Amino acid sequence: MLKRIVLPTILFVLAYGFWISPNFKEISAGVAIFLFGMLFLEDGFKAFTGGLLERILQKTTNSIWKSLTFGVVSTTVMQSSSLVSVITISFLSAGLIGLAAGIGIIFGANLGTTTGAWLIAGFGLKVKISAYAMPMLVFGIILVFQKAKSLRGVGYILAGLGFLFLGIHHMKEGFEAFRDTVDLTKFAVAGYPGILLFSLLGVVATVIMQSSHATLVIIITALAAQQITYENALALAIGANIGTTITAILGALGSNVDGKRLAAAHLIFNLVTAIIAIAFIYQIGALVDVISRGVGIAADDYTLKLAVFHSLFNTIGILVMMPLTNQLVNFLMRIMPERKIAAGQPQFLLDSALELPDTAIEAVRRETQHLYENAFAIIAHGLSLHRHDIQSDVDLEELAQKPGKPMTIDIEAEYESTVKGLYGDIIAFISRASTSMTPEQADELFRLRAAGRDIVEAIKDTKHMHGNLSQFIASSNKDIRAEYNKLRVGLGGVLRNIEAVRADEEDVTSVLALDRVNVEIEQHDAELNRKLEALIRDRHITAQMATSLMNDSAYSYDVARNLVQMGRVLFARGTAGMREAGRSIALEEDEVAKLARAATVDHEQG
């Protein structure tokens, strides 16, 4: 209901303002052009997030101070705390960084965004920047239409800067024209009532525009035109700092609980910073005067002094909150606990992960690993093996020889409840994510989709062999019982090897160990076929048993090959280049078969 009222109200107020004042029209147009430039700038920097930014972020978030530095530098470069917040939430949702690192980045982004005030106050109002805007727009738009992603990214950045400069120019012109007709300083309010009122106005303006940069430009240009008092400008800047959290809050709506915790941390930080700034505004103002004199800022250069104030109170907020980061993390985890998700429900396929190609790929990888975890339990129980036995060092051959009742499991029902729907969600997410990716990134998604298909096929083949396996491992015929136990031990060994690769997160070459598993699969299959012929010839098993064993050995072979193919993709470590290098040196099928034959010959001769 509120949303239906807010937008028409804003449109009506703007239309009325346009009708009564051409100067208001120019200021509003300047704000609109500035915001349009922000969108272009964000799109431009997103074009370069496909690898470089992600690698830097992952390497610079292993300590809270490194995270803080990353937040400051990235926001200074991109001039968009909103984009940094969205990227951080996206990485947090995909599990690529922890909550403490995310909080550090957000703290740094708050300080980094103050550089925008310095640029506007120190350069934007003292130089005719509209002269720079036009060439940037011309060259930027030409590059936007190029096919190369990097050129398009540069084009968006140039065009974005051009629109930013043009927007500042129009706002400056509008406020200076206002000065000749209407004196807005008549509406100034002195003392703490004015500070609280204008802080609230700063919050509202930033929430509406969803850009603290735009609010700061309005504040600085109005202050330069002497349309607001210095004191009221300080209060507006404090309010803009609070209002900027709306972007993180909106971005967290499509995130997991960690994303929501990060948005809450952002709000808490900005509220604490604002409370300190309001409570000590006059003391901080006096410190601004001291700093300004020290760096040569004129006493009446209120725009630059506003930039000093903006940086100073954000720095104070960081100094207060940084030592309390661990307590803040614990508090947020306590009041926003993890919600238990059913095994068949997606955990990582969140809208926030779609913001960047790399986080979308990582979300799919982690969700496919979740799919494998569900499948692991089904396949293990389908083999009448306990999951914890496979993951331990217990001798599987000895375990298989022990008499016992086969496990009861409805594989079809388990597949329907924990795998089928989740696999469908992964496929749907991939179709949404693949629209704006490079060919290399799209190939990685295709491999992950194929890994998911391999998991599903492995479950289906396990289901096909489950009935006979349950019957014959309890059979009085020791020969058929022994052969089915070999199938169990072989597949249990495949699962164990995959688990070993999965657990070794440090060694980027560990996935190559699956080549050995592939050779063993081929060797075991050949040996089983020879043994089957002997069992039939010597009449140790019946024709019905032989047919069942023949079919089930084929199913077992397919389960093993599908699991190994899946493991190669799902548990490959390192960068995309490292994974590609690993795939290039992995054994081909003919090489696997050749090594298996050689191993069989050696075994027979030995």
Report pLDDT digits (tens) over 74-94. Answer: 777 766 676 677 778 777 777
More confident residue, 306 or 129: 306
Q: Is the predicted pLDDT of residue 133 greater than 50, yes or no?
A: yes
Domain of residue 376, residue span: 356-605
- From the list 221, 237, 233, the residue with the least C-alpha distance to 175 is 221
Quick one: pLDDT at residue 560? 87
The last residue of one of the domains, among 335, 364, 387, is: 335
45 phi and psi angles, rounded to 5 deg: -70, -30
Model confidence at 586, pLDDT cuts 50, 70, 90, reads low
Say how many C-beta atoms besides its own lie within 10 A of residue 581's C-beta: 15
Q: How confident is the model at residue 545 (pLDDT cuts 50, 70, 90)?
A: confident
Closest CA to 156 of 166, 135, 142: 142
pLDDT tier at 336 (50, 70, 90 boundaries)? confident
Q: Is 11 part of any domain?
A: no
- Could you tell me if 558 and 462 lie in one domain? yes
Q: pLDDT category, 246, cuts 50, 70, 90?
A: confident
CA nearest neighbour of 526 among 593, 456, 574, 429: 593
Residues 392 and 315 in one domain: no
- Do 538 and 567 share a domain, yes or no? yes
Cα gap 419→377, rounded to integer Å: 11
Joined together, the tokens standing for residue 126 give 């003292």
pLDDT of residue 602: 53
For residue 595, what are the contacts with CB-CB under 8 A and spacing of at least 6? 519, 522, 587
- Cα 569 from Cα 573, distance rounded (Å): 9
Residue-wise pLDDT tens digits, 403-458 = 777 888 888 999 999 899 999 999 999 988 877 777 778 888 899 999 999 999 99
| pLDDT surpassing 60 at residue 314 | yes
| 355 or 310, higher pLDDT | 310
Quote the pLDDT of residue 470: 87
C-alpha closest to that of 315 among 273, 365, 257 = 273
Distance CA 93, CA 380 (A): 30
User: Does residue 350 belong to any structural domain of this protein?
Assistant: no
Is the Cβ–Cβ distance between 567 and 514 less than 8 Å?
yes
Burial zone of 326 (CB within 10 Å; 0-12 exposed, 13-18 middle, 19+ buried): exposed
Same domain, 327 and 373: no
Of 335, 364, 385, which residue sits at a domain end? 335
Residue 229 lies in a domain: yes
- Count of residues for the chain? 606
Q: Judge residue 543's burial from the number of C-beta atoms within 10 Å of its C-beta, 0-12 exposed, 13-18 middle, 19 or more buried.
A: exposed
What pLDDT, on a 0 to 100 scale, did the predictor assign at position 449?
92
Strands of 341-428, DSSP E: none
Looking at per-residue pLDDT, the higher value among 575 and 500 belongs to 500
What are the φ/ψ torsions at residue 233 (nearest 5 degrees)? -65, -40
Q: What's the confidence (pLDDT) of residue 509?
A: 65
The residue type of 10 is: I
Whether residue 460 sits in one domain with residue 324 = no
160 and 216 both lie in a single domain: yes
> Is the domain of 73 the same as that of 211?
yes
Structural tokens at position 32: 């609109």
Residue 239, pLDDT above cutoff 70: yes
193 occurs within a structural domain: yes
Q: Which among 186, 198, 202 is positioned nearest to 241, based on CA atoms?
A: 202
Do 225 and 80 sit in the same domain of this protein? yes
Residue 493 and residue 534: Cα distance in Å, rounded?
Answer: 25
Please state, in angstroms and rounded to a whole number, the distance separating the CA atoms of residues 533 and 124. 87
Structure-token pair, residue 324: 């309390």
- Indicate the range of 126-130, 164-168, 243-247, 361-365 predicted with least confidence: 126-130
Are 324 and 373 within one domain?
Answer: no
Q: HSE on the CB side for 228, CA within 13 Å?
A: 25
Query: How much is the pLDDT for 459?
Result: 93
Q: DSSP letter at 183? A: -
Confidence label for 292 from pLDDT (cuts 50, 70 and 90): confident
pLDDT above 90: percentage of residues in the chain:
8
Q: Is residue 486 included in any domain, yes or no?
A: yes
Contact 47, 148 (CB under 8 A): no
Distances (CA, A) of 100 to 103, 106, 119: 5, 10, 30
Amino acid, single-letter form, for residue 154? V
- Is 351 inside a domain boundary? no
Q: At what angle do helices 149-181 and 22-46 cross, to 10 degrees?
A: 160
Q: Is the model's pLDDT at 561 over the cut of 70?
A: yes
Phi-psi region of 584 (alpha: psi -120 to 50; beta: other; left: phi over 0): alpha
Residue 206 has pLDDT above 90, yes or no: no
Q: Which residue has the tokens 């995959």?
A: 498
Q: Are residues 305 and 416 in the same domain?
A: no
Q: 422 in a domain, yes or no?
A: yes
| Residue 204 three-state SS | helix
Instruction: Give φ, ψ of 348 to 5 degrees.
Output: -120, -10
User: What pLDDT is attached to residue 2?
Assistant: 44
CA 540 to chain centre: 58
Cβ neighbours, 10 Å, residue 91: 29
Mean pLDDT of all residues in the chain?
78
Tokens of 254: 């499509």
Given a cut of 70, is residue 128 above it in pLDDT? no
Contact yes or no for 552/484 (Cβ under 8 A)? yes
pLDDT score of 92: 78
Domain co-membership, 268 together with 378: no
CA end-to-end span of the chain: 82
Is the alpha carbon torsion for 195, 200, 201, 206 positive or negative? positive
Residue 51 predicted with pLDDT over 90: no
Verify that 330 and 360 share a domain, yes or no: no
How would residue 507 be classed by pLDDT, with cut points 50, 70 and 90?
low
| Residue 206, token pair as written in the block | 């930033």
Has residue 191 got a pLDDT over 70? Answer: yes
Show the tokens assigned to 356. 């960047």
SS3 (DSSP) at 488:
helix
For residues 307 and 118, the answer to whether their CB atoms sit within 8 Å is yes
Check residues 12 and 540 and name the one with the higher pLDDT: 540
Helix (H) and strand (E) counts in the chain: 28, 0
Quote the number of domains for the chain: 2
Q: Which residues contact 392 (CB under 8 A, 6 or more apart)?
A: none
For helices 513-537 and 543-570, the axis angle rounded to 10 degrees is 180
Exposed, middle or buried, 604 (CB in 10 Å: 0-12/13-18/19+)? exposed
DSSP character for 586?
Answer: S
Q: Is residue 15 part of a domain?
A: no
Q: Which of 304, 335, 366 is the last residue of a domain?
A: 335
Provide the pLDDT confidence category of residue 369 given band limits of 50, 70 and 90. Answer: very high
Q: In whole angstroms, what is the distance from residue 424 CA to residue 422 CA?
A: 5
Report which DSSP code applies to 281. Answer: H
